Structure 1
């Protein structure tokens, strides 16, 4: 913090009741009234330096003692007294804290260079340009003091110059930051971290009024130099600086304070960059809780729900754990707000779902997002199920809000149901059935099914369903095993047979088709042989196949001999006839 000392005389102002006067041998001839304070001063030190007082005194004529009212002087009596001390040559110390009221009052009194050389206004301007605007914290401090004199500060260009100086320093590369700054993150020490963090500026500007803070953030974003994540971090720091922690502080009753907090929430939400990931989903959810607690405008709450739903897949269970601040709700957890965020997510998810089957990559990504949210909600239900005041209707509503594809299995929701039944032992049978109706027993893992079968807390109907699907699964497994065995036998390779075109003298094995045909013929032949030539059947009886072969060969031999006998007789007859012809 830089200071400027002006004047050399000691302070001789003193107060007597509601009157401020200065110790002097000369009697007072100039009375200035500001609000309820009367200043008994002298014309000689004041008039040469104050153009306004010169004009007012000239209007009053040649009166020896002039009385003037300056109720509308910016900065009030404190600012006027600094100007008066400058006229008397009394020492004053200027800093970023008192510069703005002193400068506005000096401008009001027209203490300019044109009135007297080396006047108060040019000295203040030099201090402002050479000291305050060159410093990081001085610029922020001076800007913050403009809150009390917004119109004067705006018209005199103080606000614009301070904002320009601050933005210029924010855009400075961290390696070139040479001024002091405030950075109190947990676990951070400058001795261990030699480099300047990228968000070094966020804590200092969080001291500003929300309107001034908005001006700086807007100016920084307009340059497009810093990434959205840094803007989001600045908003996060500012919200933590000003907004109440609803998990620790009791409900606020000061309507003025609540209205100011509503204004902060509205401003912060409106400044969040549209880029996904600019702020964490945890911060968005905390803002949503605070907005719900402060009863902000519907537009702000809707925007927060939309942003929270857009990043719900990134949330953890801890992000969803926030207490209910409504006295009408006996439960500890604010499950209604979680349901609102989930419904907002589902609306966005349905819009993103691919309409064409060709969008497989996008479809897988969207499905993965839904599965993450499904696991998150089931894990959250496992936590809120321990609340003894949590009604079953709210648990069912949140669990049923998820579509079927959100749960790849139902192990998580089963665990939540089991915890709820354990913590709510007096639950009616109807409520138990209503709760367990959420379960899809076909989507339970073998370990969970084994637990469910022995779970005495579950309704009998649910246990029967688990057993039924377990048997169906086993039956299906057996059928698949049998089908697999059949397929293995069906596709067993046939034995390789030698070619029919074998070399002479080598034996060949008949093909399977040929073998079946010959076997069939052998059987038929044996049966006929047995019928016709049973009386002449002889041979080995131990081997039926050999028996049939012997019978078959015996039949052929008899027929052959019979045919030979016929031919022999015919030849004999022909021979006899030939001889008789020769004799005759």
Structure 2
């Protein structure tokens, strides 16, 4: 047997110095072989310094043992990533024989990954994590993650969890004890791996989730794992670690289906993230997710205090960004019930922030006009908010007041609101006139309908008579309301006279209708008594 000559000194990352046989190590390492060339000189005191050897001293020792043991070593899940990285770094693929080729041996062992036990797979992942970022390029990490995701997907299919139901935001157990136990068991089977993956770093969690998504694991289960991970890691983490964890959770949730996490949960994450100064990209993603579910929010959810350095009581800019994200999908996607809910929510929010004396007119107007006009059927609530804002900000110029009033659609104000506005000294006189004009058009429309009711039809209908009478009563009430109660300025006297004339016209029409209805009743009664049956009569008033 050839004597071992320790003629090479190797400094591994400054951790430890190894004295080895240059010839033995170089015979397996292409990197050292090229470094020393074909020289057979027995020069002593050769020294090699590695600053970035993967896995450090532990990894170099494993690699050396392989070389000293004639290219044989025991490869297992706990050391396969170390050996694979060392083989790549030292270029240990130059051996003709696969038996003596460390890179080939590790890759062959990886083919058996599906037969590893769950603890062995976790041990391999933990070791890969310790080797980051070098491990990224080795391929061992990705194979471990893919194997993990496949196992979780198979386990979920075998034991489906009720988490993907419409009420997945919280498990609602049945009162029946058997049903309750069954659901608890299903929940346990679907989430048994949560605790095991707490050993993973945020970087590895993000990679693991990508593999889970590729294996079509239920997004609701994934989102619950991420929330569990965040909560568990926060107990012992430092502020900078917490920031990294929550950024990872946000960035990963953003890649999942929007319905996999509730709006309430997202608002909770936002409140936590505000104390950690997370990066702008993650903050934008979180706000986008919240905005897409804004119709699920409540007023309390939106009342975030203003950031440091801004005088506003509440963070109005944040809510404006929520609204922008909500409308980002286009009006066709949010039209209907969802848009109606958001408009009601915004009316409440605007009324809440209106008394803030520091809120600038431009910000108030931006809130009031953030949604399209079609979002609101009525503008009474918005009018009250504007009224409140003008009361608190009494020093505004007339021009500024007019700009704020542009947010109101006077045609969507009720008669009562218009009357209130006409008496409201806080509003510009031009706004009062616009409100009256819009109501005038409404009255004309109602009266036009009354005139049309005088047309003759072949078959009288009691229900149509009632509807017509309701229209006339409404028209009469509104005319009286405006003509009798409004204190209109001198520039609008003509409008007042016109409204009074409309009132008398409605009264005269009602008298004519009542008289004609009485005559019709008499004729109908006489026809029934003489012929025993009725005949269709012309409908004179309906």
User: TM-score interval w.r.t. the shorter chain?
Assistant: 0.5 to 0.7
2:220/2:260 contact within 8 Å kept: yes
2-structure distance, mates of 1:128, 1:499: 97
How far the C-alpha of 1:148 sits from its partner, in A, is 3.0
Q: Where in structure 2 are the equivalents of 1:201-280 lying within 5 Å? A: 212-213=204-205, 215-224=207-216, 226-230=217-221, 268=252, 271-273=255-257, 277-280=259-262
CA distance change for structure 1 residues 441 and 268 in 2, over 3 Å: closer, same or farther? same
Q: Say which of 305, 316, 336 aligns to 1:335.
A: 316
The answer to whether the 8 A contact 1:312-1:373 is kept is yes
Question: d(CA) in 1 for partners of 2:301 and 2:384?
Answer: 20
Aligned length: 432
Which residue does the alignment assign to 2:54? 74
> Once the 2 structures are TM-superposed, how far is the Cα of residue 449 of structure 1 from its aligned partner?
7.3
- For structure 2, the 5+ residue unaligned runs are 70-74, 160-168, 173-179, 440-476, 483-501, 532-542
- Shift of the 140–418 alpha-carbon distance from structure 1 to 2, 3 Å rule, reads farther
Q: Is the contact between residue 293 and residue 325 of structure 1 (CA under 8 Å) also seen in structure 2?
A: no
Structure 1 residues without counterparts, runs of 5 or longer = 1-25, 178-184, 244-248, 353-364, 503-584
Describe the SS at the equivalent of 1:165: helix
* Distance across 2 between alignment mates of 1:501 and 1:73: 117
Deviation at 1:374, TM superposition (A): 1.5
Aligned-pair distance for 1:378?
1.4
- Equivalent of 1:490 in 501, 513, 516: 516
Deviations 1:515-569 (A, max 9, x none): xxxxxxxxxxxxxxxxxxxxxxxxxxxxxxxxxxxxxxxxxxxxxxxxxxxxxxx
Pairing 1:80-95 to 2, within 5 Å after superposition: 80-81=60-61
1:441-492 per-residue CA deviation (whole Å, 9 max, x = no partner) reads 6655688679878877666776788899696463689977875665344223
**CA shift for structure 1 position 167:** 0.6
Quote the residue 2:82 is aligned against.
101
- Give the drift of 1:393: 1.4
Contact kept in structure 1, 2:16 and 2:57, CA below 8 Å: no
**Aligned residue in 2 for 1:474:** 481
TM normalised by structure 2 equals 0.55
* Structure with the greater alpha carbon radius of gyration: 1
Give distance in 2, aligned partners of 1:485 and 1:98. 101
Q: Please say if residues 114 and 147 of structure 2, whose CA atoms lie closer than 8 Å, have aligned partners that are also in contact.
A: no
Distance 1:411 1:319 in 2: 24
Is this contact kept in 2: 1:143–1:163, CA < 8 A? no
How many Å separate the matches in 1 of 2:527 and 2:136? 112
Q: Deviations over 1:28-76 (max 9, x none)?
A: 76633324456354659x9599944998699775849664526164222
Which structure has more helix as a fraction of its residues? 2
| CA shift digits 1:317-357 (9 cap, x unpaired) | 34544455585x543544345435535655644456xxxxx
In structure 1, C-alpha distance between the alignment counterparts of 2:420 and 2:196, rounded to whole Å: 57
The answer to whether the aligner puts 1:32 opposite 2:18 as a matched pair is no
Q: TM-score, normalised by structure 1?
A: 0.52
2-structure distance, mates of 1:130, 1:433: 75
Q: Secondary structure at the match of 2:11?
A: strand
